[in-house]
A and B are shown apart, each in its own frame.
Chain A
Amino acid sequence: MLDASYYRKTDEIISRYVRDARSLIPIMQDIQAEYRYLPAELLSYVAKEIGITEAKAYSVATFYENFSFEAKGKYVIKVCDGTACHVRHSTPVLEALWKELGLSKKKHTTDDMLFTVETVSCLGACGLAPTMMVNDQVHPSMTPEKALALIEELRGKG
């Protein structure tokens, strides 16, 4: 059971939108922006509040890659593997991060909940390939060394 504050926050988010199906995606986006994931309890709550079935809400939430029912780390690192980054060797950057953080294709988040590593298909900064994004900030011209240095820096910040 989630703390009451979660529901208060969700009420506040729902109040920004009209209560019908069209608001489902923006509401889920706002919840995820708040908690870095989409708690399943809140999804059911939202469905009830905006008058759609739980099944429908779940089907939409699972369709889109951006929604995650699992809690993400404090720093969500998205390594770009778009075409431009791929041909400029983004794979070694991803592999270096996985190795350093003990993550893999299947395990995305470190046990200390500090880092989540994902791939993304394009960040729109192809001119500076390979790139990666840490939360909302794009980092240009990455190399495995630069990626590891950044991890060190973020660890220092805690």
Chain B
Amino acid sequence: MIKTAEELAQAQKIACEEIKQYDCRILVCSGTGCIATGSNKIHEIFSELVKQTPGVELVFSPCGGHHDDKAVGVKKTGCQGFCELGPLVRIQKGGKVIQYVKVQPDDCKEILEKSVIGDEIIERLLYKKGDKAYVQPDEIPFIAKQTRIVLENCGKFDAESLDEYLAAGGFAALKKAMFEMTRDDVINEVDASGLRGRGGGGFPTGKKWKQVARQKDTVRYVVCNGDEGDPGAFMDGSVMEGDPFKLIEGMMIAGYAVRAENGYIYVRAEYPMSVARLRNAIKLLEERGLLGDNILGSDFNFHMHINKGAGAFVCGEGSALTASIEGNRGMPRTKPPRTVEKGLWEKPTVLNNVETYANVPKIILQGADWFKSIGTPGSPGCKTFSLTGAIENTGLIEVPMGSTLRQIIFDIGGGLKNGADFKAVQIGGPSGGCLTEAHLDVPLDFDSVKKYNAIIGSGGMVVMGQDTCMVEVARFFMSFTQRESCGKCTPCREGTKRMLEILERIVNGQGKLEDLDTLEELAKMIQTMALCGLGKSAPLPVLSTLATFRDEYIEHIVDKKCRAKQCTALRRYVINPEFCKGCSKCARNCPVNAISGVVKKPYTIDSNKCIKCGACKENCAFDAIYVEA
């Protein structure tokens, strides 16, 4: 049990000593991505192998005893960042780390013999770029060009062990806040740091805390929004999986500062791993006395609860989220009163997202000035992004605010997949917009991208090449928000439906030019009149694509053409007479008899009859059928 500040210091000291006793640690990435590629199996095999092999001993927590054999730890870490090259494994000996990628079950024995027992590096399993192979993870450009604050521990330690978190300096910030600072000091430090809400809104965190601390009601709550609903975003999930203690420490500091005794984390149902890691963390903290009553011998009590979402995107909105925790339909309500005044159970509530809380411990430890030295004056600190889509290096990244898209997409992301041409990047999810080539050098922060009909949002970043149809992307997002609209207010419920209908018409080749004006009119109406953030921001994907890719909309409407060849209804299947051998297979496969011809002579497709099912192209033995834009 850790019941005093001294005991915490002592526990940290022991944890640090212990970690040094490992001769080697095998760090197996256990983020959602790597688990999908089979990392649990790799972890199991390593544990088994270490147990069986003479000369090494599997150690869970080396308690300072003498080991004849090499003490080897096999650990499950959070996301190591390089999701596409999983399963990822790091071999750590003292300060030296080897990063292996795409580790298969058959590789484990060799890794154990050569790199764990021996000191050899297995060239074949290293990350390679061009003709250079990288050994240390920190040297890989994808990682070297990032600045990691929130993700500093992610992938480096066992996300299921409190001792490892303590060894990495965990809970030093809470201790400092509780014993060296007053509650007001803590709030002022967070305020002075300029930290802004990472969930998308960008509201100053310190200001929010101040407003809660000022309320007369003495029952207060701390709530964490882990309902990361934006499709294409997995940053918060990665933090919950990879460094759950840090999130909890941040929430505890908030709880201490505003005198709240209960904290709630609302996690998406689609993140079972996050739920499991957080539950484990809470259990360990309760067992050691770091959560519960009289924390570190003080009068500060704090209890943590986890609520699992049930599949409603709108619950990412503050008042809908608290309604859901209360056991109601997750529908937003009119504001004011704001959540800081009447939040969960009508009590003053601090509601921040995962990444915001995870920034807090380091701000308390290193001070507001340190935090402000990173990022831009208006948006200090770093931001995590999930970099996905048509990009070479997909994965989880963290960069200083003010970094440009060019740095993110080309320096870190390695450019587009297979050297394709860049078309746009969608940021901010269904509430965001598309930025193009022209915006590659705009510094990204909360304020700058708003000028271009986009938002930083929570940090989903989907890169698109020339084979993506921007009208179809707008339709995709509108169908998402339309489906997720809770139906409470008319502008959102009806407006998004009408906008979706128009977009569906356009991608089906039945659009009219007036539709574009109607879209804009509806968009502005919804933006001004919808009740909550979901509705207000729903038209952004349409407005931003209309602004930058208007010509594509017009092509769909006037020329009945989709240059990306994505819109099925606008495809034209054509038989190349040079390749066609006249075998008649396509004519026999065609479900609507749209193909005709004479055997051994080139066939033709009647595009008026064709239903664009693609059966002809799929089955052509001579690749003679192609799609014309």
B36 x A126 contact (CB < 8 A): no
Q: Is B429 an interface residue (CB 8 A)?
A: yes
Q: Which among B46-54, B197-205, B389-397 touches the partner chain?
A: B389-397
A52, A65, A136: the one within 8 Å of B272 (CB)? A136
Contact code string B429-471 (vs A, CB < 8 Å = 1, else 0)? 1000000000000000000000000000000101010001000
Q: Is B37 an interface residue (CB 8 A)?
A: yes
Q: Given known contacts A126-B388, A127-B394, is B327 in contact with A22 (CB within 8 Å)?
A: yes
Residues of A contacting B390 in the complex (Cβ-Cβ under 8 angstroms): 87-88
Q: Is B616 an interface residue (CB 8 A)?
A: no
Q: Which among B229-237, B346-354, B373-381, B507-515 touches the partner chain?
A: B229-237
In the complex, residue of chain B having the shortest beta-carbon distance to the beta carbon of A78? B270
B32 x A123 contact (CB < 8 A): yes
B328 x A21 contact (CB < 8 A): yes
Q: Is B386 an interface residue (CB 8 A)?
A: yes
**CA gap between A33 and B70 in the complex, in Å:** 43
B231 x A128 contact (CB < 8 A): no
Q: Is B33 an interface residue (CB 8 A)?
A: yes
Residues of A contacting B426 in the complex (Cβ-Cβ under 8 angstroms): 83
Q: Is A25 an interface residue (CB 8 A)?
A: yes
**CA gap between A59 and B328 in the complex, in Å:** 8
**Which 4 pairs between the two chains have the least Cβ-Cβ distance?**
A127-B83, A82-B231, A64-B310, A83-B232
In the complex, residue of chain B having the shortest beta-carbon distance to the beta carbon of A61? B310
A63 x B312 contact (CB < 8 A): yes
B468 x A87 contact (CB < 8 A): yes
Q: Size of chain A's interface in residues, with CB distance under 8 A?
A: 42
Residues of A contacting B35 in the complex (Cβ-Cβ under 8 angstroms): 138
A83 x B270 contact (CB < 8 A): no
Q: Is A74 an interface residue (CB 8 A)?
A: no
How many residue pairs, one in A and one in B, have C-beta atoms under 8 Å apart? 142
Q: Given known contacts A87-B389, A139-B36, is B271 in contact with A23 (CB within 8 Å)?
A: no
**CA gap between A120 and B394 in the complex, in Å:** 20
Chain A 93-142 residues near chain B, CB threshold 8 A: 120-129, 131, 133, 136-140
Q: Is A66 an interface residue (CB 8 A)?
A: yes
Q: Given known contacts A25-B327, A122-B270, is B310 in contact with A138 (CB within 8 Å)?
A: no
A25 x B307 contact (CB < 8 A): yes
A84 x B462 contact (CB < 8 A): yes
Q: Given known contacts A24-B327, A66-B269, A84-B388, is B310 in contact with A124 (CB within 8 Å)?
A: no
Residues of A contacting B228 in the complex (Cβ-Cβ under 8 angstroms): 122, 124
B33 x A140 contact (CB < 8 A): yes
Q: Given known contacts A26-B307, A140-B33, is B395 in contact with A123 (CB within 8 Å)?
A: no
In the complex, residue of chain B having the shortest beta-carbon distance to the beta carbon of A67? B310
26 contacts between A and B (CB under 8 A): A22-B325, A25-B310, A25-B324, A26-B308, A28-B310, A29-B269, A29-B308, A64-B310, A65-B311, A66-B269, A66-B310, A83-B231, A83-B429, A83-B462, A84-B386, A86-B231, A87-B390, A121-B231, A121-B313, A121-B484, A122-B228, A122-B232, A123-B270, A124-B32, A127-B82, A128-B86
Q: Is A149 an interface residue (CB 8 A)?
A: no
**CA gap between A114 and B610 in the complex, in Å:** 35
Chain B 219-239 residues near chain A, CB threshold 8 A: 228-234, 237-238
A87 x B36 contact (CB < 8 A): no
B36 x A128 contact (CB < 8 A): yes
Q: Is B317 an interface residue (CB 8 A)?
A: no
**CA gap between A33 and B104 in the complex, in Å:** 32
In the complex, residue of chain A having the shortest beta-carbon distance to the beta carbon of B38? A140
A124 x B237 contact (CB < 8 A): yes
Q: Is B411 an interface residue (CB 8 A)?
A: no
In the complex, residue of chain B having the shortest beta-carbon distance to the beta carbon of A57? B327
B307, B327, B473, B480: the one within 8 Å of A121 (CB)? B480
**CA gap between A120 and B331 in the complex, in Å:** 20
Residues of B contacting A59 in the complex (Cβ-Cβ under 8 angstroms): 329
A25, A85, A120, A140: the one within 8 Å of B270 (CB)? A120
Contact code string A35-76 (vs B, CB < 8 Å = 1, else 0)? 000000000000000001000000110011111000000000
B37 x A66 contact (CB < 8 A): no
Contact code string B276-308 (vs A, CB < 8 Å = 1, else 0)? 000000000000000000000000000000011
Residues of B contacting A123 in the complex (Cβ-Cβ under 8 angstroms): 32, 270
A84 x B32 contact (CB < 8 A): no
Known: A84-B386, A86-B476. 4 other contacts (CB 8 A): A24-B327, A66-B269, A82-B232, A126-B83
B328 x A60 contact (CB < 8 A): yes
**CA gap between A140 and B193 in the complex, in Å:** 40
In the complex, residue of chain A having the shortest beta-carbon distance to the beta carbon of B396? A127
- B304 CB to closest chain A CB (Å) equals 15
Q: Given known contacts A121-B231, A125-B234, is B36 in contact with A84 (CB within 8 Å)?
A: no
Q: Is B555 an interface residue (CB 8 A)?
A: no
**CA gap between A125 and B388 in the complex, in Å:** 10
Q: Which of A22, A60, A84 has the most CB of B within 10 A?
A: A84
Q: Given known contacts A87-B390, A140-B33, is B229 in contact with A121 (CB within 8 Å)?
A: yes
